[in-house]
């Protein structure tokens, strides 16, 4: 990097405080890693620092592009960063023109480079490090980075409160994408942060006693990793807003690794464990015929991709709107879908967690709609007769099913084909319809009273909440039904996005305990060795890449 550039990094490193949200040790390891490459370490660190300033609104896109244009050209011989520069006479169409090269399947501009490097150690969960500096006055509002609300935006809602740490999502991701052990595109960890603790993995009463973090790539709407890529290998795809790496364009400079606030990137040091011939083209190439999925070739960066071949229909329409990790999760805490569609799984789950949690559990508790009519033959139409005669139907399950019906919302948009909450709701509503057709008057005050679904039954503090708890206020039958759902499975106590103050606009929303600034990983109920996985990448080879940063030491 030019030593006479008086503006490079200006304002972001006035003190020796680390710029990276994951802390000083993580930042030092990244710097050591870049020292092992043929590329300019100082340039990579400064660009990573300022890319985060752009997402935070402290530096404009144009200033960022102009500040590093000459250095990037000198270092790489090209500057294809998808950030429009008003002073660049060669720019024809700015961002759209640059990204269109990828969309039209233009050939790779560089051969992949083969590299090796030194291993690095473990970094703690330093979420709070970035807050140690006083932010400068914003030059632009990061909240104004909006995706097209009518376009699909793939994302997740992850319910940490009901995660059991089984690591099924990790093994499923590996089985589908064939990344080398330890290069965990999906990672699950138990943590403590000084305020919350997790139990001894050999002595606990419930998996819910653990504090978990499930960490895929956040697929940021305003991704700093994309801003520093000199070749547009790291880019946001128009279709679905996925942040991807074009393996045929990536030169392995690892600048994206520095710029990512979440530590999700992996460099493929050696030849991959799975040969090229074993990879199916349907899993490797997306609809643009770009090589963006499955494990990376040697010398290339990789990370979680949200399964673009699935979203493109390569494996059938029924898998659109699904991921391998979501499908493998036993407690259904990973909800993937279109975040811009209010009828999608992640949107429904985030909007009303108690109702979504009830749909998942109740749909498996109730008798099958196919079997229920025959089970009701010869049975009386009153509530007592039905609950006495039919297995799987008791007053609680019928009350919950009625509450689902009362709180039903009609959406203008259809859910993606792979979404499950809409089907689980349909199953429950079909059971309700069969019961009503049989003669159970679920809309009558008498039956609603028997089920505990009348307004006067929900006055006063919630049951078991203590005398000092505030009274429940219900105004109508829908309020009563919602309270019944929340009494069955309480709503989430917290909703957050990881490092949301950075301004990256991540497309993963969490429900549950947010890791504090002193969070650190502790053993969970299931170890990576238990499921044939590896927690730390350097346990596989002596010389390996930085991996998960705050989560493992790959």
| Alpha helices (H) in 320-394, listed in sequence order | 324-328, 345-351, 353-365, 372-375, 383-389
Give dist(CA 70, CA 22) in Å, integer.
29
DSSP state of 490: P
Please give the model's pTM, rounded to 2 decimal places.
0.84
CA distance 449 to 454: 6
Would you give per-residue pLDDT tens digits along the chain (554 residues)? Answer: 544 443 444 444 445 789 999 999 999 999 998 998 899 999 999 999 999 999 999 999 999 999 999 999 999 999 999 764 444 444 443 433 343 343 334 333 333 333 322 222 233 454 433 333 344 444 544 444 445 667 999 999 999 999 999 999 999 999 999 999 889 999 999 999 999 999 999 999 999 999 999 999 999 999 999 999 999 999 999 999 999 999 999 999 999 999 999 999 999 989 999 999 999 999 999 999 999 999 999 999 999 999 999 999 999 999 999 999 999 999 999 999 999 999 999 999 999 999 999 999 999 999 999 999 999 999 999 999 999 999 999 999 999 999 999 999 999 999 999 999 999 999 999 999 999 999 999 999 999 999 999 887 765 545 444 444 455 566 788 999 999 999 999 887 799 999 999 999 999 999 999 999 889 999 999 999 999 999 876 455 444 433 333 434 34
Nearest in space to 303 (alpha carbons), one of 346, 254, 338: 254
Kindly give, in sequence order, each residue whose CB lies less than 8 Å from that of residue 541, ignoring residues fewer than 6 positions away.
Answer: 119, 269, 270
3 state SS of 364? helix
In what helix (H) or strand (E) does residue 189 lie, and over which residues does it extend? strand 187-192
Strand ordering across the sheet containing 154-159: 334-338, 154-159, 508-511, 495-496
């Amino acid at each position: 990097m030019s030593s006479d550039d008086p503006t490079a990094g200006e304002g972001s490193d006035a003190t020796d405080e680390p710029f990276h949200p994951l802390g000083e040790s993580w930042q030092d390891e990244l710097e050591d890693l870049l020292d092992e490459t043929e590329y300019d370490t100082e340039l990579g660190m400064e660009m990573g620092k300022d890319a985060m300033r752009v997402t935070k609104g402290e530096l404009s896109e144009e200033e960022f592009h102009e500040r590093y244009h000459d250095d990037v050209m000198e270092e790489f011989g090209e500057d294809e960063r998808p950030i429009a520069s008003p002073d660049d006479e060669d720019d024809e169409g700015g961002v759209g023109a640059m990204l269109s090269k990828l969309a039209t399947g233009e050939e790779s501009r560089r051969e992949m480079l083969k590299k090796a490097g030194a291993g690095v150690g473990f970094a703690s969960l330093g979420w709070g490090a970035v807050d140690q500096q006083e932010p400068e006055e914003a030059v632009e509002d990061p909240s104004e980075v909006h995706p097209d609300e009518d376009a699909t935006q793939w994302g997740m809602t992850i319910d940490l409160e009901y995660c059991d740490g089984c690591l099924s999502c990790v093994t499923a991701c590996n089985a589908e994408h064939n990344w080398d052990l330890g290069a965990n595109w999906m990672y699950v960890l138990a943590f403590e942060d000084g305020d919350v603790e997790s139990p001894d993995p050999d002595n606990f009463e419930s998996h819910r006693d653990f504090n978990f973090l499930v960490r895929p790539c956040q697929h940021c709407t305003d991704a700093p990793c994309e801003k520093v890529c000199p070749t547009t290998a790291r880019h946001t795809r128009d279709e679905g807003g996925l942040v991807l790496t074009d393996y045929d364009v990536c030169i392995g400079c690892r600048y994206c690794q520095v710029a990512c606030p979440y530590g999700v990137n992996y460099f493929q040091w050696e030849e991959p464990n799975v040969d090229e011939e074993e990879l199916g083209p349907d899993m490797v190439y997306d609809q643009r015929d770009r090589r963006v999925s499955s494990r990376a070739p040697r010398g290339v960066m990789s990370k979680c991709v949200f399964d673009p071949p699935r979203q493109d229909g390569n494996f059938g329409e029924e898998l659109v709107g699904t991921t391998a990790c979501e499908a493998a999760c036993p407690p259904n805490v990973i909800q993937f879908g279109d975040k811009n569609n209010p009828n999608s799984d992640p949107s429904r789950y985030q909007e009303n967690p108690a109702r979504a949690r009830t749909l998942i559990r109740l749909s498996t508790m109730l008798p099958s709609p196919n079997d229920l009519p025959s089970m009701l033959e010869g049975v009386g139409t009153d509530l007592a007769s039905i609950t006495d005669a039919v297995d799987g139907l008791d007053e609680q399950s019928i009350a919950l099913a009625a509450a689902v019906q009362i709180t039903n919302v009609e959406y203008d948009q259809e859910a993606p084909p792979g979404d499950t909450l809409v089907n689980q709701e349909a199953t429950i509503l079909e059971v309700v319809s069969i019961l009503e057709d049989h003669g159970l008057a679920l809309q009558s005050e008498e039956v609603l009273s028997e089920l505990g679904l009348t307004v006067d039954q929900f006055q006063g503090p919630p049951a078991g909440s203590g005398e000092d708890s505030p009274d429940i206020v219900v105004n109508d039958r829908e309020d009563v039904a919602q309270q019944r759902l929340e009494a069955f499975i309480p709503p989430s106590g917290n909703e957050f996005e990881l490092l949301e103050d950075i301004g990256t606009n991540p497309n993963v929303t969490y429900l549950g305990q947010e890791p504090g600034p002193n969070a650190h990983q502790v053993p969970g109920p299931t170890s990576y060795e238990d499921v044939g996985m590896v927690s730390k990448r350097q346990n596989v080879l002596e010389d390996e890449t930085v991996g998960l940063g705050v989560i493992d030491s790959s």
